[in-house]
Amino acid sequence: MGFLRDIGAPGVIVLIIAALIIFGPKRLPELGESIGKMFTSFKKSISGLTEEENSDKKNEKKDN
């Protein structure tokens, strides 16, 4: 993630313009929404895995 710190404001503007050219202004909100849903489901699945691991560790301690 170190390269993202070096982009700066001009780089972000170039990325936004490139996204507008590639996807168009009509599809960009749809793309943003689908990416947001993807990150939300990914976050839920990761937190679900950590909850399962924690419950497994608690069950192992109880068994010993």
List Cα–Cα distances, 25 to 21, 36, 38, in angstroms.
8, 17, 21
Q: Report DSSP letters for the chain, one per residue.
A: -HHHHTTHHHHHHHHHHHHHHHHHHHHHHHHHHHHHHHHHHHHHHHHHHHHHHHHHHHHHHHH-
| pLDDT tens digit sequence for 17-56 | 998 999 888 898 898 899 999 999 988 888 877 776 667 6
The pTM of the full predicted model, rounded to 2 decimals, is: 0.52
Residues 6+ apart with CB under 8 A from 31: 23
